[in-house]
């Protein structure tokens, strides 16, 4: 009986996430609506007209508008890359080529392997220790390393980090970089909007006449408050995910390995960063990967990940 409260809460949260998935298009429209309001306040209402003022004001307005549009383009590019990129699905009839625990060739066709899979299907998993072969009874298939089942999407996702209602998609191996860039450019854009509208926001509290219609002034005030709130909240998420990338872990794995002293996928900050962003520096700040990185780095495909023992063996 004492556990009924948390169980009910977890169930309600699950239903809430499922409902948000059903109204996914509305979440996209909400994001575009916030972008539209910000665009109107910065470009149409304030800095667009200031271009014709002449002098320093015109140069400042031009600089703000150029930076605003560049960041907005990168933000939307990253956002829709997360929305429309599959985070990674388990290929049909996938089987592991090596034993995840000891790094030796796994006898995938012998009787022991077949019996082990049958036990996993029937739920006969030992209560102690991690099985060398992971199996999803919901999807009825084997699970690659670092793969988790998403209850909202109803499928297994490669290197799943979390299900994000804002992008109406799971964040996993194939779109995690795009999600991080979305956070990064959202923080920069909202910070720019906040700073550029700050003088106009301060004017509301001064005993001076402010040019503009009541609707324009209200939009400017609302845009400043919204962007300040988003800048602060996104900064927290960005800091959290930067720390996860530095340790080569995900949100789910960080929760699961609280009692694990060492993490076998932690290869050092440089290699951990490349596991997400690739090795080609030209592609670090855009939601794309070079063909060479995709060919040379299996981790970017979400099925195989180097570990510390692998590096020691090289």
pTM of the model: 0.83
Q: 228 is written with which tokens?
A: 């300040």
Residues 198-211 have pLDDT tens digits of: 998 898 887 667 77
CB 259 within 8 A of CB 253: no
For 104-213, where are the alpha helices, taking DSSP H only? 111-122, 176-203
Residue 137 confidence class, pLDDT cut points 50, 70, 90: confident
pLDDT for the residue numbered 153:
87
The more confident residue out of 91 and 21 is 91
Residue 18 has pLDDT above 50, yes or no: yes
Percent of the chain predicted with pLDDT > 70: 77
Q: Which of 76, 67, 73 is nearest to 193 (CA)?
A: 67
CB 186 within 8 A of CB 73: no
pLDDT for the residue numbered 58:
93
| Residue count of the chain | 314
Q: Which of 20, 275, 284 is nearest to 158 (CA)?
A: 275
Residues 78-101 have pLDDT tens digits of: 999 999 999 999 998 888 775 444
Contacts of 58 (CB under 8 A, 6+ apart): 50, 51, 52
Residue 109 has pLDDT above 80, yes or no: no
Active site amino acids: 164
Q: Please give the average per-residue pLDDT across 124-136, as a whole number.
A: 55
Q: Give the pairing of strands 155-157 and 148-150.
A: antiparallel
Residue 162 has pLDDT above 70, yes or no: yes
pLDDT for the residue numbered 270:
95
Residue 111 confidence class, pLDDT cut points 50, 70, 90: very low
Name the 3-class secondary structure at 296: helix
Q: Which of 186, 153, 154, 165 is nearest to 25 (CA)?
A: 165
Q: Please give the average per-residue pLDDT across 55-83, as a whole number.
A: 96
CB 147 within 8 A of CB 156: yes
Residues 267-300 have pLDDT tens digits of: 999 999 999 999 999 999 999 999 999 999 999 9
Residues 225-248 have pLDDT tens digits of: 999 999 999 999 999 999 999 999
């Amino acid at each position: 009986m004492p556990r009924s409260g948390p169980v009910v809460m977890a169930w309600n949260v699950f239903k809430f996430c499922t409902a948000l998935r059903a109204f996914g298009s509305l979440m996209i429209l909400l994001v575009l609506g916030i972008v539209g309001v910000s665009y109107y306040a910065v470009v149409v209402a304030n800095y667009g007209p200031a271009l014709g003022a002449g002098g320093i004001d015109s140069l400042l307005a031009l600089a703000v508008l150029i930076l605003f549009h560049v960041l907005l383009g990168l933000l939307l590019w990253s956002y829709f890359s997360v929305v429309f990129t599959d985070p990674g699905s388990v290929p049909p009839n996938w089987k592991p080529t090596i034993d995840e625990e000891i790094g030796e060739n796994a006898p995938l066709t012998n009787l022991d392997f077949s019996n082990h899979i049958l036990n996993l299907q029937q739920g006969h998993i030992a209560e102690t220790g991690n099985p060398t072969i992971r199996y999803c009874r919901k999807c009825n298939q084997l699970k690659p390393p670092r793969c988790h089942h998403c209850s909202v999407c109803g499928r297994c996702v490669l290197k799943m980090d979390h299900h994000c209602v804002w992008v109406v998609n799971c964040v996993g191996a194939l779109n995690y970089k795009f999600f991080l860039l979305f956070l990064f450019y959202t923080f920069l854009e909202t910070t720019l909007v906040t700073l550029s509208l700050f003088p106009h926001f301060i004017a509301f509290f001064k005993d001076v006449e402010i040019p503009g219609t009541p609707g324009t002034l209200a939009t400017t005030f609302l845009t400043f408050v919204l962007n300040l709130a988003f800048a602060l909240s996104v900064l927290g998420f960005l800091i959290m995910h930067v720390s996860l990338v530095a340790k080569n872990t995900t949100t789910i794995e960080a929760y699961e390995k609280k009692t694990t002293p060492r993490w076998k996928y932690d290869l050092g900050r440089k290699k951990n960063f490349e596991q997400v962003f690739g090795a080609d520096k030209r592609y670090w700040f855009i939601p794309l990967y070079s063909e060479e990185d995709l060919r040379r780095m299996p981790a970017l495909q979400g099925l195989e990940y180097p570990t510390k023992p692998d590096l020691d063996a090289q």
